[in-house]
Structure 1
Amino acid sequence: MSTPTGFMQYQRELPADRDPIERIKDWNEFHKHLSDEQLRTQGARCMDCGTPYCHTGMELAGSASGCPVNNLIPEWNNLIYRGLWREALDRLHKTNNFPEFTGRVCPAPCEGSCTVGLIGDPVTIKTIEHAIIERGFEEGWVVAQPPKVRTGKKVAVVGSGPAGLAAAAQLNKAGHKVTVYERADRLGGLLTYGIPTMKLEKNVVDRRVNLMREEGIEFVTNTEIGKDISRDELLKEFDAVIMCGGATKAREVEIEGRELNGIHLAMDYLNGTIKSYLDSNLEDGNYISAKDKDVIVIGGGDTGTDCVATALRHGCKSVTQFGTVGKAPLERDIINNPWPQFPNVYTLDYAQEEAKALYGEDPRAFSVLTKKFVGDANGNLKELHTVQIERTVDPETGRRIYKDIPGTEKVWPADLVFIAVGFEGPEKTLIDSFGLEQDRRTNVKAAYGKYKTNVDKVFAAGDMRRGQSLVVWAINEGREAAREVDKYLMGSSMLP
């Protein structure tokens, strides 16, 4: 324990963010950083409690509770308090291959289950994690570590998102020759095409991928397995295959007027902007522009939030984000949302903070259902018709349902709509070409902890197996799948 009374002596402190009005003028990351002394103080707030729920990695009430990769959080909090940065980095890398990703984009379920949070504000775990890994890069401690011995076994990893990269990194450590296939023109999967640069600058992804290349991992881009390379070719060349293709099939909406011009899937919008920005700093114009447009985002999750932030940087005229759920309470509901569940409380994410600074109010409209899209004579979207809804229980089935509230109908002017209502699972091309069995949610069927599919030599991990989820869960599954593949190839495994 750093200091027995630290959690009582010191207050939670987060690094300041760049001014919202200034940061929407560019596409750079917006977080600032704490000083070493501030980080030491925040580390001192850790109780080193007897049962550290922060790294349990469970799922409670449908969301993560604690760290899914089981980070040794109390240990590296104490090491930071003592000024032992190199040792803290070693502890961090024991459980997490890519803390530079999770330290930026993870929603920090570890903090939601922090014991200090029972009586006050939790420890700033995510901030400390990010500081440790960046200090490691600055000091030159993070270097390529190729294996000393090769096993002669070859493994293909399909998909270069967080699950695929984690699996590749672990299998390479075990001495296997790993080749990662990516259908896009750049590596990183959703880390590159999916998460906007203001949350995760792409040089951070490139920095890690380049290290993995130095360690002996081969990366192949612009190659779609099932089309450019057949199942039989892949299985003939490799001793094992791990499918980490993600869950990228976007969920559609069945709303009157969906065919109108100006209505797009959220990922088409985000990916187009990211690619154009990386290719030409948006000078090529190969993206959907929200400049001077009235924008409505349908969906209250992270993808919808990223659409709001992107529209603001395009220079939209207005932006509103619809969600079907009600406004969360200001404080945790200790009856229906008890610790250590992830706290469901009202907060402003980065995009909502930016919109509020620009327009004067939270851009979100809660408990709203879109009833129809209406267009002009040329087939272009001009407005949305909505109604307020309430959540209730069907007396016959006992299931929760939404009911319209009479008299709450409203018409919203709109030039662009982005649909961000989730994902239905992995795309069919890869699944069909390999003959993979699917579960009832259309994900690849493979038991958690085992990751073996119905096809010999083929394993599956990450969103492709579990459905759309957090980056940190993808890393967890990639690491575990690598261990199972190592067992399959060698009879046993020393991988964690």
Structure 2
Amino acid sequence: MGKPTGFMDYERETAAAVSPKVRIKNFNEFHTPLSREKQRQQAARCMACGVPFCQSGMMIGGMASGCPLKNLVPEWNDLVYTGNWEQAYLRLMKTNCFPEFTSRVCPALCEAACTCNLNGDPVSTKENERAIIENAYEKGLVKPNPPKVRTGKKVAVVGSGPSGLATAMQLNMRGHSVTVFERSDRIGGLLRYGIPNMKLEKHIIDRRLAIMEAEGITFVTNANIGEDIPAEQLLKDYDRVVLCCGASNPRDIKVPGREAKGIYFAVDFLKATTKSLLDSNFEDGKFISAKGKKVMVIGGGDTGNDCVGTSIRLGAASVLQLEMMPKAPDTRAANNPWPQWPRVCKTDYGQQEAIAVFGHDPRVYQTTVTEFIANKKGEVCQAKLVKLEGKRDEKSGRTVMVPVEGTEEIVDVDLVLIAAGFLGSQKYVTDAFKVALDGRTNVATDPGKYQTSIPNVFTAGDMHRGQSLVVWAIREGREAARAVDESLMGYTNL
């Protein structure tokens, strides 16, 4: 423990954000990191607890508490405080394949479980992590380290999102020859096209991919396994196949008028925006324009917030965000104590920008759509909304949201973005490999395992556990790699 009184001597300080009205002029990341000296002070706030919940990754109250990767948080916080940045990097990489990704897009489960959070502000662990990895890149510590010996075994990884990349990195490190297949035109999956550029600039991905390629991993793009390339070919050419295709089926809103033009899934909107940005800086016009439009986002999660921020950057005239559930409390409720994940209202970057531009929070709670109304051209022009209230379902015992009679209203809309979550794996992939599914259409395995119902076929990530966080995908990728390695070699040291 570097400084026993650090949590009392220093107040929490985080990277300064560019003001909303300035940052919406581009799609760049918008935080200015602290100086190295200030970051050391923030690391000094770590209490090196006897029971560090920050790295526990436990399920408490039905939600994760602490880092699912079990990052050695107190250790590298202490190393940052003492100025031993290289050792901090080595400790960080023992548990996390891609800290440059998680330190940008993870909601910081470690900080929510920080003991300092019990009676004050948590340690800025997420930013300490980013400082460690960025310092390592600057100092040339992150460099290719190809395996000295190859096993002669070949593994195909289908999908290049965080779980696929983590699987590939670990198996390649073990000496297996790994090929990653991606159906899109660029490697990265969710990281590339599901997360907007202002949260994760894509050169950050490319920087890591260059190292992975130099270490011997082969990447193949525009390869749609199950359609363009038969599953049988992979099973013949490779000793093992790992399916990391994500939870790619967006949940739809099935109401009258859904067929109207101008209604899109959030994932299609975000992908088209990022692809056009990367291809031509929007010169090609191959994106879904929000310029001058009244945008309605259906869904209050992270993806919905990304749609809000992206719509504003594209010049939306207004943004309305619908959330079916009631507004969460601003502070922890009595039945949600530390170290549980805090179920509190979070105003994210997109909502902050909407408040700055339009003068009010775009979110409307306990509301849903009952009908879309189209004009003579078949374009959506209005939506019929209704308020919801929670009622206990006698059969299940759960609280369900039901319409409140007499609360209907009609609002004008030009563009609707559905960000209502995802339902599971895509059928054509699972059919191609003939793997068994669970009740949520995720690929089924034994509890805690990654072997599917088909010999030599494994799975990891959202395709296995359902829609989740990048940090969980990385954990699943690492654990699946361990299972694959053991099946190939009879033992594993991963």
Counterparts of residues 417-496 of structure 1 (less than 5 Å):
417-495=416-494
**Aligned equivalent of 2:344:** 345
Q: CA RMSD in A?
A: 1.1
Q: Distance in 2 between matches of 1:160 and 1:86?
A: 29
Q: Distance in 1 between matches of 2:58 and 2:257?
A: 42
Name the amino acid aligned to 1:322.
Answer: L
**Aligned equivalent of 1:52:** 52
Tell me, which stretches of 5 or more residues in structure 1 are unaligned? none
Name the amino acid aligned to 2:120.
Answer: G
Q: Deviations over 1:308-335 (max 9, x none)?
A: 1110011010001100111111111132
Q: Distance in 2 between matches of 1:28 and 1:60?
A: 36
Q: CA deviation at 1:228?
A: 2.2
Q: Secondary structure at the match of 2:271?
A: helix
Q: CA deviation at 1:396?
A: 4.6
TM-score (norm 2): 0.98
Q: Distance in 2 between matches of 1:8 and 1:370?
A: 49
Q: Distance in 1 between matches of 2:276 and 2:464?
A: 30
1:284 aligns with 2:281: no
Q: Distance in 1 between matches of 2:61 and 2:435?
A: 29
Q: Distance in 1 between matches of 2:440 and 2:60?
A: 19
Q: CA deviation at 1:201?
A: 0.5
What percent identity do the matched residue pairs reach?
55
Tell me, which stretches of 5 or more residues in structure 2 are unaligned? none
Q: Distance in 2 between matches of 1:248 and 1:129?
A: 29
Q: Distance in 1 between matches of 2:79 and 2:5?
A: 17
Q: Distance in 1 between matches of 2:478 and 2:377?
A: 52
**Aligned equivalent of 1:299:** 299
Q: Distance in 1 between matches of 2:110 and 2:253?
A: 34
Q: Distance in 1 between matches of 2:455 and 2:406?
A: 58
Tell whether the 8 Å contact from 1:449 to 1:481 is kept in structure 2 after alignment. Answer: no
Q: Deviations over 1:454-476 (max 9, x none)?
A: 11111000011001100000000
**Aligned equivalent of 1:118:** 118
Q: Distance in 2 between matches of 1:478 and 1:25?
A: 36
**Aligned equivalent of 1:324:** 324
Tell whether the 8 Å contact from 1:248 to 1:427 is kept in structure 2 after alignment. Answer: yes
1:211 aligns with 2:234: no
Tell whether the 8 Å contact from 1:72 to 1:92 is kept in structure 2 after alignment. Answer: yes
**Aligned equivalent of 1:244:** 244
Q: Secondary structure at the match of 2:22?
A: helix
Q: Distance in 1 between matches of 2:62 and 2:30?
A: 30
TM-score (norm 1): 0.98
**Aligned equivalent of 2:404:** 405
Q: CA deviation at 1:448?
A: 4.5
Q: CA deviation at 1:381?
A: 1.1
Counterparts of residues 248-267 of structure 1 (less than 5 Å):
248-267=248-267
Tell whether the 8 Å contact from 1:15 to 1:31 is kept in structure 2 after alignment. Answer: yes
Equivalences, count: 494
Tell whether the 8 Å contact from 2:325 to 2:401 is kept in structure 1 after alignment. Answer: no
Q: CA 1:427/1:396 → structure 2, altered by over 3 Å: closer, same or farther?
A: closer
Runs of 4 or more, structure 1, over 4 Å off, are none
**Aligned equivalent of 2:164:** 164
1:415 aligns with 2:414: yes
**Aligned equivalent of 1:333:** 333
Tell whether the 8 Å contact from 2:185 to 2:222 is kept in structure 1 after alignment. Answer: yes
Q: Deviations over 1:160-215 (max 9, x none)?
A: 10000000000011000101001100000000011000000110001101100000
Counterparts of residues 133-172 of structure 1 (less than 5 Å):
133-172=133-172
**Aligned equivalent of 2:271:** 271
Q: Distance in 2 between matches of 1:90 and 1:157?
A: 26
Counterparts of residues 190-201 of structure 1 (less than 5 Å):
190-201=190-201
Q: Distance in 2 between matches of 1:350 and 1:391?
A: 28
Q: CA deviation at 1:345?
A: 1.5
Q: Distance in 2 between matches of 1:62 and 1:280?
A: 44
Tell whether the 8 Å contact from 2:305 to 2:350 is kept in structure 1 after alignment. Answer: yes
Q: Deviations over 1:19-44 (max 9, x none)?
A: 11011110101111011121111111
1:23 aligns with 2:5: no
